[in-house]
Amino acid sequence: MGHSNLIQKFPNFKHKIGSLSTLFLLFIFIVMGLSLGRNIIKIKNARQQIISAKNQLTELNEIQDQLKEDLEMIQSRQYLDKEAHDKLNLVHEGEVVLVLPQEDVLRRLSPRTQKPDEEMRPLRNWEAWLELFL
């Protein structure tokens, strides 16, 4: 049986093969289109991730630079002297330390000539001049 015999036996065979090949090609184009669409979306998402990662890298580099500056400052002799002075109450040679009592003790020890805090008001300009000269 040759090709011509098949066509004579099945007259719609050629038409069916043509419509099947058209459907198959249509199916292939649809699958390729969907695949292309998914790949485009993946590329856009990857670009967004790259931009986000670059921004994060920039921020981390700035933080790293600031931390390096802080480390240099902390390792300096001036910083060590300041911390020893402030936190450990160490003094340099020839320096005098003045220790004041707590605020409530200071109020009890202060003279009672001033009015209580509630009654005190700022002096007007003419009252201040009068008090200065009298």
What is the separation of C-alpha 127 from the centre of its chain, rounded to a whole number of angstroms?
55
Residue 26 belongs to a domain: yes
CA angle (92, 94, 100) in 5-degree steps = 80
**How do residues 29-43 score in pLDDT, each as one tens digit?**
999 999 999 999 999
Over residues 41-46, mean pLDDT: 96
CA–CA gap between residue 53 and residue 34 (Å, rounded): 28
Residue 127 belongs to a domain: no
CA–CA gap between residue 79 and residue 67 (Å, rounded): 15
The total number of structural domains in the chain stands at: 1
Which residues span the domain enclosing 74?
3-109
pLDDT at 115 over 60: no
pTM > 0.95: no
Residue 124 belongs to a domain: no
Range with lowest mean pLDDT among 35-44, 60-69, 92-101: 92-101
Residue 134 belongs to a domain: no
Residue 132 belongs to a domain: no
**pLDDT for position 89:** 78
Identify whether the C-beta of residue 91 lies closer than 8 Å to the C-beta of residue 85: yes
Residue 126 belongs to a domain: no
Residue 31 tokens read as 């699958």
Residue 22 belongs to a domain: yes
Residue 122 belongs to a domain: no
